[in-house]
Structure formats: structure tokens, C-alpha cells
Amino acid sequence: MPSTTPEPTIPPVVRPDELERLLEQHPDLRLLDVRTPGEYETVHIPGAYNVPLDTLGEHGAEIRSRVDTPVVLICQSGQRARQAENALEAAGMPNLHVLEGGVNGWVSKGKPVHRGAESLSLERQVRIIAGGLAAVGGLLAVLVNPLFGILPAFVGSGLVFAGVTDTCAMALLLSRLPYNQPATCDVGAMVQALGRGTEPAT
């Protein structure tokens, strides 16, 4: 049944303060968190539904058919939310918006969150691995053989590519690790709850 609440006017990119006001005025607004289940379980905005970015291709059409209210996309910092926006637009879904700064921006403003067991965010995992590879490659190039300098050059090139294209192959690979994909995540049930507007399954 279509919502009887007047549809809010939402900018394409929503600041945390704006989103907090919108949620108070329009409780039917949907929050779609596209981070990994591990990140979501660690900390998420109350009422947000978790459908990881790499599952949107499979569930995009179902989300489009079930949800007819505005959707604000959320990730850790904003990059994956923009990718999710592209994926859902390709599935024909209108009225999509992105939370500025993602969960990081929300937390930095002191907004309420649900917290679970602590784990490393995907962005931190990428920084740690990329930094480690670059450091090791640099040391090996100095101490063993200059050819090891190829490793930090490769890592740096990958980071530049990620920044230019707004994609990160390492993040996509890491998101598939068991550490980032707990067995408790039921994406199908989460999509159904998203469509009904019922309490997200956690």
C-alpha cells in the first residue's frame, strides 16, 4: 500500500543532520547499508537494513519491486554507497540518495548507533594491507634487490586507479572473506524486511 506520508524533498547527498531530521519527520524513509555484514554488526545506524554491495546485482530487481519510498544509501565513508546507487539505478530504482561521509560521518556528528562486536572496517583493512605491501616492497628494494620496488609501485598505481574510478578491487576481494561475511547474514530476509518496513533482522 502506498505511503500516505507526504514524500520528503531529499537532496542527492544527505548530511547527517539533515538525515536525522528526515527520519523524525518521515519514518517510512528507508536506510540501506551496503557494507559487509561484519561492518554492519560492528556498528550501524538504527533502523538501517544491510544488503551488501556485492549482492545488489542479485537483489536489485527485488528491492526495486518492493520499495516505493525514498532510500538513503549508507556505507563506511560514501564510496560504496555511490557504487550501490549506480547498481540500483541500473535496476530501474528511483529516488536514491547517499549519506554524506557514511557511517564515519554519522558517528563523527555524535548521532545514535547500534554497536556490536568490534571488527575492522573494509576501508581500514585495505589501508593496512596496501600500506604493509608498500612498506615491505620498499624495504626489500633497499635491502635485497631494487626490483622489489615494483611492489610499492604496483600498490600505489592500484590506489590511484581506485581513486580515479571510485572502485577498489582489493576491497571487493576482502568483502568475500569469511571474516567480513558472517554466516548470520540473511540477505533475502533483510530485503523482505526492507520492503515491508519492518524491524531489520540482525
Q: How many CA atoms lie within 13 A of 117 on its CB side?
A: 7
CA–CA separation, 194 and 188 (whole Å)? 10
Residue in 75, 122, 130, 185 annotated catalytic: 75
* Cβ atoms < 10 Å from Cβ of 98: 22
Q: Is 75 tagged catalytic?
A: yes
Mention every residue, 6+ apart, whose C-beta is less than 8 A from residue 165: none
Q: For residues 30 and 69, is the Cβ–Cβ distance under 8 A?
A: yes
Bridge-based pairing of strands 71-74 and 30-33 is: parallel
Active site residues per annotation: 75
